[in-house]
Amino acid sequence: MNDRRKVKLQVQKVYMEYYNERRRQYLLALSDINLNIYEGELVSIVGPSGCGKSTFLNAVDGLLSINSGRILLDNKEIKKPGPERSMVFQHDSLFPWRTVEQNVMYGMEIQKRFSNKEMKERAEHFIHLVGLKGFEQQFPNELSGGMRQRVNIARALVTEPELLLLDEPFAALDAQTREFMQVELMKILEKAQKTALFITHQINEAVFLSNRVVVFTARPGSIKADIPIDLPDARTLKLKHHPRFIELEEQIWRLIEEESANTGMVTLGGQ
Ligand SMILES: Nc1ncnc2c1ncn2[C@@H]1O[C@H](COP(=O)(O)OP(=O)(O)OP(=O)(O)O)[C@@H](O)[C@H]1O
């Protein structure tokens, strides 16, 4: 098939192993990962606990060096962290002594690419985009968990990264806030037109948010399945009751269960 979409991220034959000093042993975490992510796509990675999801995300961020293979963003090889990628973690990494606005401005201050006026304007724009208008001068301890994750998302977007990396960003939220944030994230990414790689333990969340769900095998992580989510683009929570949604969820669940069975694991973390 002639695919005319622009490839944003190319992952080619990636292998990665850790060395355990104490045991003097190598541990293969990723094995032969090949994946293309296209512009504007949100791709989720799911798989059994310990299969290498975070390792993979950290390798794409450039925080970890791979042993072989290549990872390219816009045809440029990733060797170390860079401003064209932004990560959002499970736990907010906000500075408690900085206001929402000052937290959102932090990345821009480090990068020194923007004037003071631009930084203020951009911070304001992204704070509004994530729905926090009016909270600019609040401190993190005055915000709820969901609001703090919004600040993190604003902070990740404000430097205009080409790729957004999200490592279980909603895992610490209660179920209701989590669902609300899923809908909000969809809207935010749609407005910001970002390409994103998302890690989650929740199959339901992966199906709801993604254009594709990539299922990893048990460690060493390799790609077991790459499943297009053929659901309408306009996603509301009602979609979670749609027969096709449930079918996709069950298909992915079975694939992960097969892998978990291979390692003797019964359930998934957080599920
Ligand atoms: N710094 C490290 N040194 C040695 N081994 C590591 C290190 N970090 C992770 N590992 C091992 O690599 C494998 C993959 O870990 P990783 O955290 O990437 O998995 P994961 O799929 O994100 O796990 P989870 O779903 O439980 O968060 C695991 O077996 C883990 O024990």
Q: ipTM, 2 decimals?
A: 0.97
The CB of 82 under 6 Å from ligand 1? The reply is no
What is the model's pLDDT at position 2?
Answer: 57
What is the model's pLDDT at position 243?
Answer: 95
- Indicate the SS3 state at residue 202: coil
Reported as a single tens digit per residue, the pLDDT across 140-150 is 999 998 899 89
What is the model's pLDDT at position 66?
Answer: 96
d(CA 67, CA 191) in angstroms, rounded, equals: 37
What is the model's pLDDT at position 57?
Answer: 96
- Indicate the SS3 state at residue 36: strand
Looking at the predicted structure, is the pLDDT value of residue 170 above 70?
yes
Reported as a single tens digit per residue, the pLDDT across 112-132 is 888 999 999 999 999 998 889
The CB of 49 under 6 Å from ligand 1? The reply is yes
What is the model's pLDDT at position 172?
Answer: 83
Run of H or E residues at 120: helix 116-129
Evaluate the CA torsion angle 198, 168, 105, 73 in order and state its sign.
Answer: negative
User: What number is the average pLDDT over the span 36-40?
Assistant: 95
Q: How far is the CA of 218 from the centre of ligand 1 (A)?
A: 11
Q: Which of 30, 33, 53 to mutate to test the pocket of ligand 1 (most atoms within 8 A of CB)?
A: 53
Looking at the predicted structure, is the pLDDT value of residue 223 above 60?
yes
Confidence of residue 265 (pLDDT cuts 50, 70, 90): low
What is the model's pLDDT at position 177?
Answer: 85
d(CA 134, CA 44) in angstroms, rounded, equals: 32
d(CA 72, CA 223) in angstroms, rounded, equals: 18
Looking at the predicted structure, is the pLDDT value of residue 134 above 50?
yes
pTM of the model: 0.91
Supply the residue whose CA is at minimum distance from atom 6 of ligand 1.
18
Q: How far is the CA of 27 from the centre of ligand 1 (A)?
A: 10
- Quote the percentage of the chain above a pLDDT of 70: 96
